[in-house]
Amino acid sequence: MQWSLLRPVGLVPATLVLTSMAASAEGGKSASPSEFLLVTQIVLLIAVGRGLGEIMQRIGQPSVIGELLAGILLGPSLFGWIWPDAQTAIFPKMPEQKAMLDGIAQFGILLLLLLTGMETDLKLVKKVGKAAIAISIAGILVPFACGFALGEFLPDALLPKPEQRLVASLFMGTALSISSVKIVAVVVREMNFMRRNVGQIIVATAVIDDTIGWIIIAVIFSLASQGTLDLASVAKAVLGTLVFLAVSFTIGRRLVFQLIRWANDNLVSVAAVITVILLLMGVMALITHAIGVHTVLGAFVAGILVGESPILTRQIDERLRGLISSFFMPVFFGLAGLSADLSVLRDPNLLLLTGLLVVIASVGKFGGAFVGGTLGGLSTRESLALASGMNARGSTEVIIATIGLSIGVLSQNLFTMIVTMAIVTTMAMPPMLRAALAKLPMNKEEKERLEREEFEKRGFVANLERPLLAVDESVNATFASHIVGLIAGMRGLPITVLHIGKRAGEQERGRDEEASHEAVVKKAAETVSTNGDGEVGSIDVVTRARRAELGETITEEARKGFDLLVVGVDKVTAAKDRFDRKIEDIAAKFDGPLAIVAARGKHLKQPMPDRLNILVPVSGSGVSKRGAEVAVALTQAGSGSLRVIYVATTRDKGAQRGASRGLGQEAGVLKDASDLAARYEVDITTTLRVNRAPQAAILREIDTTDVDLVVMGVDRIQADHLSFGGVADAVLRQSKVSVLLVSSGEARQAPSEKG
């Protein structure tokens, strides 16, 4: 293990020697900016930064600390002290050469703030908003006052512009008061405390801290650019910021979602959505610059809006994070480390001031957060954990210090002091937070919530992002639209309605506006009293018309990232055990989960029922659990009743005898279904049928109860045609009530007829 930890570091000296020799040769050829040196700098910062970041993570520290240390090791603090000629050759002070790396780093700042915004969970902030706001305000005011006071008493020699002491003091106060939401979130997540109550409050408070911090920085930036405390310019900056935020979180939220959806659905080029996200970030950064505040605020808000997009697929999210984490983060933080010359701390006075800065920052933030937590209604232990978590500065302070240095508000020495403070407080945070959180007991309510969230993490309905509804002009299509609207309304999912009739779109335009499939979906969603976040069900619905052959149309839609296809067409079954040709063509072109709706009985006359009385067969298999999840969701959304029946999964007599002897297992399956329903506060009735074929048990239950919809989780069976097995086929053909079949994504082999 020790060798594995040291291996990345062991490569550094050789790399430095070889690169410095080459760089020296290159530097002797020309005094103009060198692409060779730029690539060399980037390679070194990434290699050493990522290597040290790996080591930091293995010893329980955030990787950003390793990236900062990489810059310090490669800068004048160590490499420049050991071999100044080589360090100067690789990282010359020539403005033109430095500007090339600075340009990448400045764009990296915007991307880092974009990533931070994407990690911001506004729902979490709303959930614990009152406590988090009180804690954040108290946690900012105390250290801000301390930092501002320190700035007012700093020697003139430490200030680049003593006449602008006010701006420098404001920068100091901000640097000491704002926690790094990225560091806090990473550490809390790595410790598996993200979903604990106190973990949510810590992260939500850090989010508010960061948001307030960037607004403060925007105002300070305006002050610095004016040179004096111009009330008119400050008022303009504050008013512009408030207007920008108001427009962003109202009109902008909708616009960002529509742009991402449009790019995902219409552009065929590689990484089109990422391109749109980067353009959104750039435009919003330019807008904030135009209103007189720093571009980082625009990038941060863009990240929040992008992160809230309901169709930001996991693949896009991961690729964007990978680009930022693997390239821009080590370059930016490495450059920040390069700018910090720790050798100046050999001056006893500067070392003393740096120590004082660390103490003031830690005591001020810890004390302010602790007081805020107490006022916010937290217990002493929770307040201690909160105060420990909020003391991490990390990336935020480095960005703030870099901005201050770039605009001439902070001197090189002050910059080094702030970076040192950020490193020390960030490295102290994980062990302190671990110790504080380890002593926190878990109450009953919190335990139940965590168990439910853990279940949802593995669930089907809870992880749906984007269903596709394929319908024609039939009554069955209307019923399918109603079903989809109920599911979408529970979670606020965006829906795409694909018209696949022979004259797709013409019938829809000719229908009454209130009877259109889009209207049915929206109406069903609106009947859902609350969705998963306690908000009135409201969804976005778009319509697409079939413009080509059916299979080609489904293929084109499938590439857009839909994770469930719901089919509602006039004819569902054909002769023998076959589905209608239209359904088979659709299923052949869609590899993901498929749901087939068949309206029967009263739903043919009333395809938009006020309530659904649902029967769901369960067997303990994964696919039957999927059916149970959908049934529970529909019951919760449709204000109906739910009946669960246990059925055997095979038809041979040996299996039936085994089922008779294994009643304990069957009762366990029903208990699992009851627990699932209880998590969502749905009342159910359970039935245990033994010594009866599955299809016979299900049909018997339909005949003897008042159910009007059967929801079955089914497997796709490998065959030359679409098949879900004999039980599903029998129920689908013989049921007098509506049937909803929810299939798995991949086909499996048919079960053996022998036990």
Can you give the pLDDT at residue 475? Answer: 92
* pLDDT value, residue 598: 92
Between CA 494 and CA 559, with CA 312 as vertex, the angle to 5 degrees is 80
Cα Rg of the chain (Å, integer) = 31
Give strand pairing partners of 142.
none
Cβ-contact 597, 501 below 8 angstroms: no
The confidence score (pLDDT) of residue 69 equals: 85
Distance of CA 330 to the CA centre of its chain: 22
Structure token digits, residue 318:
């991961």
How many residues comprise the chain?
755
Q: What is the mean pLDDT of the chain?
A: 78
pLDDT at residue number 191: 65
Cα 649 to Cα 52, 623, 630, 646, 727, distances in angstroms: 54, 11, 19, 9, 9
Contact in structure between 433 and 191 (CB atoms under 8 Å): yes
- The predicted model gives 356-370 an average pLDDT of 86
3-state SS class at 94: coil
pLDDT band at 712 (very low <50, low <70, confident <90, very high): very high
Whether 532 shows a pLDDT value over 60: the answer reads: no
% of residues, the chain, pLDDT over 90 = 8
Checking if the pLDDT of 81 tops 90, the result is no
The sign of the torsion formed by the CA atoms of 38, 43, 46, 51 equals negative
User: Is the confidence at residue 40, as pLDDT, over 80?
Assistant: yes
**CB burial class (10 A; 0-12, 13-18, 19+) of residue 82?**
exposed
Closest CA to 220 of 147, 303, 293: 293
Whether the CA torsion 335, 90, 45, 73 is positive or negative: it is negative
pLDDT in tens, 722-748: 888 888 889 999 999 999 999 876 655
Predicted local confidence at residue 245, as pLDDT: 86
Say if residue 1's pLDDT is above 60: no
For the ranges 14-18, 279-283, 289-293, the one whose mean pLDDT is highest: 279-283
Q: What is the residue-wise DSSP string for 625-660?
A: HHHHHHHHHHHHHHT-EEEEEE--S--SHHHHHHHH
> How distant, in Å, are the alpha carbons of 357, 358, 373, 474 from that of 353?
6, 9, 29, 78
Is the model more confident about 667 or about 230?
A: 667
pLDDT of 737 reads 93
What local confidence, expressed as pLDDT, does residue 504 receive? 47
Could you give the CA distance from residue 525 to residue 339 in angstroms, rounded to a whole number?
55
Partners of residue 711 on adjacent β-strands: 740
Could you give the CA distance from residue 302 to residue 255 in angstroms, rounded to a whole number? 11
pLDDT at 740: 94
Going from N- to C-terminal start, the domains of the chain cover 1-93, 94-438, 611-755
Residue 536 CA to residue 629 CA, distance in Å, equals 21
pLDDT band at 233 (very low <50, low <70, confident <90, very high): low
The answer on pLDDT for 6 being more than 50 is no
Mean pLDDT, range 701-715, rounded to an integer: 90
Residue 576 — left, alpha, or beta (φ > 0 → left; ψ -120 to 50 → alpha)?
Answer: left
Q: Does domain 94-438 sit in CATH 3.80.10.10?
A: no
Task: Assign 31 a pLDDT band (cuts: 50, 70, 90).
Answer: low
Per DSSP, helices labelled H in 30-83 are 35-58, 63-74, 79-82
Backbone angles phi and psi of 217, in degrees to 5: -60, -40
- Exposure string of 292-304, with b = 16+ CB inside 10 Å and e = fewer, is bbbbbbbbbbbbb
What whole-number distance in Å separates Cα of residue 187 and Cα of residue 192? 9
Task: Give the DSSP letter string of 136-203.
Answer: HHHHHHHHHHHHHHHHHTS-GGG-S-GGGHHHHHHHHHHHHH---HHHHHHHHHHTT-TTSHHHHHHH
If you search the block for the tokens 């729902």, which residue do you land on?
123
Whole-number pLDDT of residue 420: 83
User: Using CA atoms, how far apart are residues 755 and 752, in angstroms rounded to an integer?
Assistant: 7
pLDDT computed for residue 387 by the predictor:
85
The 8-class DSSP code of residue 250 comes to I
Q: Among 29-38, 123-132, 330-339, 598-607, which range has the highest average pLDDT?
A: 598-607
**Which residues, 6 or more positions from 375, have their beta carbon under 8 angstroms from its beta carbon?**
134, 135, 138
- pTM more than 0.75: no
> Cβ distance 222 to 403 under 8 Å?
no
The CATH number given to 611-755 is 3.40.50.620
CA pair distance 572, 658, nearest whole angstrom: 35
Q: What's the token pair of residue 68? A: 């900062």
Please determine, for residue 5, whether its predicted confidence score (pLDDT) is greater than 50. Answer: no
**pLDDT at position 110:** 83
Angle, to 10 degrees, between the axis of helix 550-558 and the axis of helix 581-588? 30
pLDDT value at residue 539? 78
| Mean per-residue pLDDT, 524-536 | 57
Q: Using CA atoms, how far apart are residues 69 and 54, in angstroms rounded to an integer? A: 12
pLDDT tops 70 at residue 421? yes
Instruction: Write the pLDDT tens digit of every residue in 125-175.
Output: 677 667 777 888 888 888 888 888 888 888 888 888 887 788 888 888 887
691 pLDDT more than 70: no
Q: What is the pLDDT of residue 603?
A: 93
Distance in angstroms (rounded) separating the CA atoms of residues 742 and 45? 51
User: What pLDDT is stored for residue 163 in this prediction?
Assistant: 77
Query: Could you tell me the two tokens for 59?
Result: 């010893």
**Residue closest to 349 by CA, chosen among 155, 166, 77, 170:** 155
Does position 553 have pLDDT exceeding 70, yes or no? yes
Give the pLDDT score at 124. Answer: 63
With pLDDT > 70 as the criterion, what percentage of the chain qualifies? Answer: 81
> Closest by alpha carbon to 709, among 638, 622, 623, 646?
638
DSSP secondary structure letter of residue 749: P
pLDDT value of residue 182: 61
Order of strands, edge to edge, in the sheet holding 594-598?
A: 541-545, 495-499, 467-471, 564-568, 594-598, 738-748, 709-717, 613-618, 641-646, 684-688
